[in-house]
Structure 1
Amino acid sequence: MTRFFSLLAVAVLGLQLIQVDRASAASNRIVAVGDIHSDYKNALAVLQMAKIIDSKGNWIAGQDTFVQTGDNVDRGAGTIDVYKLLQNLRGQASAAGGAVINLLGNHEVMNLGGDLRYVTKEDTASFGGATARKAAWDMQTGWIGKFVYNSFNITHIQNGHTLFSHADMSVDWAKKGIDQMNALAHKALKDKKFKEPIFTTYGPVWNRDLAKEEAGESETCEVIENIKQILGVKRMISGHTAQSSGKVLTLCGNSYIGIDVGITAYYGANRAALEIIENNDGTQTVSAIYPSGKVILS
């Protein structure tokens, strides 16, 4: 019933909704990677470590699903290579029966809106200058801008049990439902309204309240449980809040997992991915993958 009203709201508002093929999206193995921040070298290393790509950057994960939770840009110099990699993997994964899910991060939104405060001079030079870089990010005519606008959502539920968003979800946003959140985000992008509530401090591209346990541990866990019940999921996965430990963050019995471990050299070149395996009994095995090996979380 909740999904019905969410879809009805989308239809009434006439909002854009990127649909994911539910048949191909169901997967026995899900791999999620957090903020890459224009670090192509470390992105390749993490995806190879997680057995998503081979040494040439090609998809080898068969029918698996790879979720990247946003912030592929800024703080580094490899923006072009990172987005080309993601574009190529979407096509290769689809051809193999797998899927790549890309989510909007606050840094994607900033670049689409012309907020370039975290763009490095090396990155600008890689495009051939500021004018060429701006053209590449145009949502109507630029190759990165069109790719992000047409292929990135703001939040996603995979296999019916795991919620993904770039930053932290809130109860108020969860009540709107996945489809309406995604549609509102795309309408804001289409209208070039980059200060809409969906993109501001407490929206799902900026919010850090859960990762930082702003309300205290007990109340944070209550909020997480409420969000899980509203959206009908077992756990939520977010990036955005970099972990100085270089390890994934787990809260409230692994109901919340933060996967921004600082992959980019700017934050220490920490390499990690999250893996979710479907078991025959309907449960999932959730693990963190590090260069030193796999650590089972639940």
Structure 2
Amino acid sequence: MKAKINKKVKRILKWTLIIFLAYFIATSLYYGEGSFDERTGFSTFYWSGLDDLRRADKASGLLVNEQYPTFLDGTDGPYVFGDKYYVVTADNEIVEGNVDSSGLIIVNTGIEEFPSFSVNLRSSYATETYDYKMPEKLIAISDMEGNLTGFYSFLLANNVIDKKGDWIFGRGALVLNGDFFDRGTQVTPLLWFIYHLDNQAPQSGGKVHFILGNHEIKNLSGDASDGSFKYIEIAKRISGEKQWDKAIRYLYSEKSEMGKWLRSKNICEKIGSHVFVHGGLNRLHLRERFSLEEMNMIARKYMGKNTSALAGMNKRDEIITNTINSPYWDRRLNLDWKIKWTYKLNGIKVLETTEKDLDQILDFYGAEKIIIGHSIVHDISTGYNNKVIKIDVEHGEELSSGKTRGLLIQNNNYYKIKDLDAMKSWSTIM
């Protein structure tokens, strides 16, 4: 009897294994299999799958020990280097031209309601300061990730801009709390639009604060692994570099207008009694008694450096730039179960910031609250008895979706706001 049961169990296991292997082979044959080095773009083995054979817009067929191909994908640019610019047309052709003496460039958006805007290039870029007085009104939004449509919709609905995309927020402050790169396909016009508002706001006494997040830092360093392949392709074409990281570093290098501008920005700032930082501050920053000025100086020192340049750095620099403890990577202020398990599976030991730790951190920086992005939440929300405000949400990608959300601070009140009619969609969060 026992022998029959064992035989039956073996038969079941055998056919389970056969079915599993058949499924794996069939899906790999149809959907593809393989990988490539996201730094170099080199693939030792890659099969596109039958579903992608003969496609002209992505890798097709079998790749063995060769570069993974990337392609242009519609209107993009401009990319400005000195007096030259490059744009990609809707037909995937690269057009090169000279910037005229006025320094005016036109940016096409691909948005029907907001098809284009003009930008005046600056002659120089002063390094941003890091400590500001609180304005009468402040709007903060985070993690737009290449989504100009949602960003435009949000600013328009909340009277930061008019329909033409011009600043009408007066002496108000607009804080962009990191991660405007990657994932979406409107990265370049989104960055130019921020540049445009950054130019206009001071003319009315206002200010745009562009806090750099981990995705800004990654791209400056040549890591475009979370971005659309079209940016890698344009980077290769402009730079003449085949290796992905070298091409992307060139695209945002100090030779480019965008690279020079981004290098003037900070990774953390204090506005009134609020610290704005993409990831967070933790007990290591407190223990080492980092000032905001020093953290920004260290981060700026390594912007655009490749990974080999980070090896052997001193302890203080390493804390500010590594992928666990850096202010633009830290997740201890929003350490949910998914993040905890991700750390555990990778053998990383990270302890959540306690409220006592946070009180000491806030006291050291002379702040009452810290506003973070980076770690996604269902809605604009608070933690640690309202001392932490979390503003990384899943934004809408259409106009007036009601899903694109941010934070408004006005008259010592805190509101979550949407890309719908101003005031009608406000709701207090504390």
Report the TM-score range of the alignment, normalised by the length of the smaller protein: 0.7 to 0.9
Distance of 2:213 and 2:249 partners within structure 1: 20
Whether 1:274 and 2:407 are equivalent positions in the alignment is yes
Q: 1:211 aligns with which of 328, 334, 350?
A: 334
Residue of structure 1 equivalent to 2:258: 144
Distance 1:269 1:186, change over 3 A: farther
Structure 2, gaps ≥5 residues long: 1-125, 239-246, 312-317, 341-349
Same amino acid, percent of matched pairs: 24
What is the number of residues matched between the two proteins? Answer: 268
Q: Deviations over 1:246-287 (max 9, x none)?
A: x1131022110111112265xx99310101113xxxxx1111
Task: From the two aligned structures, give the one with the greater strand fraction.
Answer: 2
Whether 1:258 and 2:390 are equivalent positions in the alignment is yes
* Higher alpha-carbon Rg: 2
Letter in 1 for 2:202: S
Whether 1:157 and 2:280 are equivalent positions in the alignment is no
Q: Deviations over 1:42-64 (max 9, x none)?
A: 11112223321122211110000
Task: From the two aligned structures, give the one with the greater helix fraction.
Answer: 1
Written as runs of structure 1 = structure 2, the 5 A alignment for 1:117-266 is 117-124=225-232, 128=234, 130-132=236-238, 134=248, 137-150=251-264, 152-159=265-272, 161-174=273-286, 175-189=289-303, 193=309, 196-200=318-322, 201-212=324-335, 220-243=354-377, 245=378, 247-263=379-395, 265=397
Distance of 2:389 and 2:232 partners within structure 1: 33
Letter in 2 for 1:181: M
Letter in 2 for 1:179: E
Which secondary structure state, in structure 2, belongs to the residue aligned with residue 293 of structure 1? Answer: coil
Contact map agreement 2:172 2:207 (CA 8 A) in 1:
yes
Higher relative contact order (CA 8 A, sep 6+): 1
Distance 1:186 1:98, change over 3 A: same
Q: 1:287 aligns with which of 408, 415, 419?
A: 415
Distance of 1:19 and 1:289 partners within structure 2: 27
Question: Shift in Å at residue 194 of structure 1?
Answer: 5.4
Letter in 1 for 2:201: A
Q: TM-score, normalised by structure 2?
A: 0.57
Letter in 2 for 1:19: T
Question: Shift in Å at residue 138 of structure 1?
Answer: 3.1
Distance of 1:122 and 1:225 partners within structure 2: 45
Question: Shift in Å at residue 18 of structure 1?
Answer: 3.0
Contact map agreement 1:287 1:297 (CA 8 A) in 2:
yes
Contact map agreement 2:141 2:176 (CA 8 A) in 1:
yes
Distance 1:101 1:65, change over 3 A: same
Contact map agreement 1:17 1:182 (CA 8 A) in 2:
no
Q: What value does the CA root-mean-square deviation take over the aligned residues? A: 2.7
Distance of 2:127 and 2:165 partners within structure 1: 29
Residue of structure 1 equivalent to 2:137: 29
Distance of 1:240 and 1:182 partners within structure 2: 18
Distance of 1:253 and 1:26 partners within structure 2: 22
Question: Shift in Å at residue 122 of structure 1?
Answer: 4.2
Structure 1, gaps ≥5 residues long: 1-15, 279-283
Question: Shift in Å at residue 172 of structure 1?
Answer: 2.4
Contact map agreement 2:381 2:429 (CA 8 A) in 1:
no
Contact map agreement 2:414 2:429 (CA 8 A) in 1:
yes
Q: Deviations over 1:55-75 (max 9, x none)?
A: 221111000011101111100
Distance 1:94 1:17, change over 3 A: closer
Question: Shift in Å at residue 221 of structure 1?
Answer: 2.1
Contact map agreement 2:135 2:172 (CA 8 A) in 1:
yes
Contact map agreement 1:106 1:199 (CA 8 A) in 2:
no
Contact map agreement 2:131 2:270 (CA 8 A) in 1:
no
Written as runs of structure 1 = structure 2, the 5 A alignment for 1:44-63 is 44-63=152-171
Distance of 1:20 and 1:211 partners within structure 2: 24
Which secondary structure state, in structure 2, belongs to the residue aligned with residue 257 of structure 1? Answer: strand
Which secondary structure state, in structure 1, belongs to the residue aligned with residue 183 of structure 2? Answer: coil
Distance of 2:232 and 2:305 partners within structure 1: 26
Higher deviation after alignment, 226-235 or 48-57? 48-57
